[in-house]
């Protein structure tokens, strides 16, 4: 077990599965006390908590529907109340969208924006006062290659993730002088429970052809980038977007 986050309290949204679960597990392995967030999958969140505890770490699960701004902000307040502080926030929770733009239902558009972008506003809004007061903290927002390049038939998701990158840069400039580092990670296509069907589809094959590495990413690989940004090893990183994308986008 490493100690890069020893004594830190880290909240990872959407950490019952996929990238979030890997981030939570690695944070626990580096000595953090981890708040595992979930919306509905209590059993999977419990599995993430047990994974951390069985490795000698400390973790607890917290439920919240981040599409509701009040619940998103209350989640952060509950974590701070339970652990006494918040050193790291990873905004990972999200939902995808695939389909022609003209066929996107307004409710679907609103749900994607609420989950992937507006929830980040609310959790940051709740976390930043405490971090500023203590003069320290790290926020890592999970964006996407799609938010950097734009991809057909992902308009809502691409728009939300582009917004996450813009929000990250703005907040980094505003709060960097106050001791808070805010950065983003923009993965390429990563194999998770949420993307498995898409990976096996014709669209998945097309996306694979765009990746020079010749394979899709794995959640644990993306988690390494997140853990770096959470830690003091990334002391000079503010407003940056790391791109673990297998060469799918080269800014």
Query: What was the pLDDT predicted at 172?
Result: 98
Give the active site residues: 157
* Environment class of 112 (CB within 10 Å of its CB; exposed 0-12, middle 13-18, buried 19+): buried
- Decide: pTM greater than 0.75: yes
Taking residues 111-123, report their average pLDDT: 98
Q: Are 246 and 212 in contact (CB under 8 A)?
A: yes
**Structure-token pair, residue 13:** 């949204």
CA distance 56 to 157: 37
Residue 1: band (very low, low, confident or very high) from pLDDT cuts 50, 70, 90 = very low
Residue 2 above 70 pLDDT?
no
**Structure-token pair, residue 45:** 């969140």
Q: What are phi and psi of 142, to 5 degrees?
A: -85, 115
- What percent of the chain has a predicted confidence (pLDDT) above 70? 99
How many other CB atoms are found less than 10 A from the CB of residue 40?
A: 10
pLDDT digits (tens, 9 = 90+) for 183-196: 999 999 898 877 77
* Environment class of 179 (CB within 10 Å of its CB; exposed 0-12, middle 13-18, buried 19+): middle
Residue 142: band (very low, low, confident or very high) from pLDDT cuts 50, 70, 90 = very high
List, as one string, the DSSP characters of 67-109.
TSHHHHHHHHHHHHHHHS---EEEE-------S-GGG--HHHH
Domain coordinates of the chain in residue numbers? 9-241
**From its phi and psi, is residue 188 left (phi > 0), alpha (psi between -120 and 50) or beta?**
beta
Q: Class of the 9-241 domain? A: alpha beta
């Amino acid at each position: 077990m490493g100690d890069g986050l020893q004594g830190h309290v880290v909240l990872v949204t959407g950490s019952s599965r996929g990238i979030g679960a890997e981030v939570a597990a690695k944070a626990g392995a580096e000595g953090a006390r981890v708040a595992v967030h979930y919306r509905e999958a209590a059993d999977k969140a419990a599995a993430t908590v047990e994974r951390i505890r069985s490795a000698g770490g400390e973790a607890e699960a917290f439920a919240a529907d981040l599409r509701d701004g009040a619940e998103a902000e209350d989640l952060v307040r509950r974590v701070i109340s339970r652990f006494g502080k918040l050193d790291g926030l990873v905004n990972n929770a999200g939902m995808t969208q695939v389909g022609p733009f003209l066929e996107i239902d307004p409710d679907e558009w609103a749900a994607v924006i609420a989950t992937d972008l507006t929830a980040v506003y609310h959790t940051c809004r709740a976390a930043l006062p405490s971090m500023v007061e203590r003069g320290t903290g790290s926020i890592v927002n999970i964006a996407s290659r799609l938010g950097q390049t734009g991809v057909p038939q992902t308009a809502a998701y691409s728009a939300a993730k582009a917004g996450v990158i813009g929000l990250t840069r703005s907040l980094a400039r505003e709060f960097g002088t106050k001791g808070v580092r805010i950065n983003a990670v923009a993965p390429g296509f990563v194999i998770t429970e949420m993307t498995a069907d898409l990976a096996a589809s014709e669209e998945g094959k097309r996306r694979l052809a765009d990746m020079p590495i010749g394979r899709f990413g794995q959640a644990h690989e993306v988690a390494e980038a997140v853990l770096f940004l959470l830690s003091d090893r990334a002391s000079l990183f503010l407003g940056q977007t790391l791109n673990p994308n297998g060469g799918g986008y080269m800014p």
